[in-house]
Amino acid sequence: MHLEEHISSKTDGIKPQEIDWVLTVPAIWSDTAKQFMREAANNGGIPNSRLILALEPEAASIYCKNLLVDRTISSGGRSTLAAFAAGTKYLILDAGDGTTDITVQEIKPDGYIKQIFIVRGDWGGVKVDQAFDEFMLDIVGMETMDKFRNENKAEYLSLCREFEVKRRGIRPDSTAKITLRIPLVLSEQFHGVKGVSLKDSTKSSKSMEWVGDKLRIDPDIFKDFFSKSCRQITHHLNSIFQEPAVVDTDIILMVGDFSETKMLQAAIKSAYHKKLVIIPEEPGLAVLKGAVQFGFNPKIINPRISRFTYGISTIKRSLPHIDPENNKKTGQ
């Protein structure tokens, strides 16, 4: 494998059999999906003896549980260390770019972590990307946009990457216009389809203006790209907090790439200002760092009860005068 080859080329002190591998998987995955991941790892050269599967929300909570107070951002004055005291329930909002996993866990008196509730939805950062896509469609039209995507993939990806950078930087209190470089080929294709220049078609808009090949967009439009995703997440959180097992949970732990955006952070803090919102310094790396810690101490997670049990033998109640006496067994 690549990592083992790289390590071997750098040092002779570490042998492949001394390396344990931790693969993170979504908590909502079925046993079949987890088994597929395990077999894929085996085929890739990782034996079961050196393989550990870690659930992503559990890995994130392990990382945040060990954080120092001054390395977190909280919405209240409570200590982060106290927030993870024994008996405490907390909700993990693992907001990724694709999906959002919401898990509620509890710290047991022995320090182990117990999972109480879990749900997954497609309310991640992809919704923001879709909103931007719809914005561009309104400007250039479906025909131009399809032509641009299909014939100029590199330029299209460049536009998506630039939007990703701007998306991470926008804040609820931003007042400056957001500047995006629009690929020249997109303007040319628009002219070829519509017969007019892209700049002329948008010059009447008060929310946009052109400076060379750059489109400057009103910050309120940019903020609105987040509204659907943030609204969906808070809506589902509201229903989760009404669950009997979750109703007394007053801590929200935000992790995942989408949790790095100031817009989502502000939406959660505003909707749940009476709860303690904890955000690690690098929310997008919380699962990765927690997985490393889990690899050193897998027993920190409370043992789970299997969804299914399998019997290997049976015994029935003895019937007097019917069943042979020599087959009778007396329980201790």
Question: What is residue 71's predicted lDDT score, i.e. its pLDDT?
Answer: 43
To the question of pTM greater than 0.95 for the whole model, the response is: no
**pLDDT tens, per residue, the chain with 332 residues:** 677 777 777 777 677 778 889 999 887 788 899 999 999 999 988 888 889 998 888 888 788 777 644 444 455 555 554 556 778 888 989 998 888 888 888 888 877 778 888 887 778 888 999 999 999 999 999 999 999 999 999 999 999 999 988 988 899 999 999 999 999 999 999 999 989 998 888 888 888 888 888 999 999 999 999 999 999 999 999 999 998 888 889 889 899 889 999 999 999 999 999 998 988 888 889 889 989 988 888 877 765 556 666 777 777 787 877 878 777 777 65
Per-residue pLDDT, 304: 59
**Distance from C-alpha of 258 to C-alpha of 127, rounded to nearest angstrom:** 11
Helix then strand count (H, E) for the chain reads 13, 11
| Domain ranges for the chain | 126-224
Q: How far apart are CA 157 and CA 154, in angstroms?
A: 5
The pLDDT value given to residue 31: 84
- Does an H or E element contain 202, and which? helix 198-202
**Chain CA centroid to CA 96, Å:** 3
pLDDT value of position 241: 92
What CA–CA distance (Å, rounded) separates 265 from 252?
Answer: 11
Q: What is the pLDDT of residue 264?
A: 94
Strands 72-74 and 100-107: unpaired
Query: Residues 277, 254: contact at Cβ < 8 Å?
Result: yes
Q: 223 near 170, Cβ under 8 Å?
A: yes
- Angle, vertex CA 73, rays to CA 71 and CA 75, nearest 5: 150
Q: Are the C-beta atoms of 47 and 59 separated by less than 8 Å? A: no
Q: 32: exposed, middle or buried (C-beta count within 10 Å: 0-12, 13-18, 19+)?
A: exposed
Structure tokens at 156: 């299209």
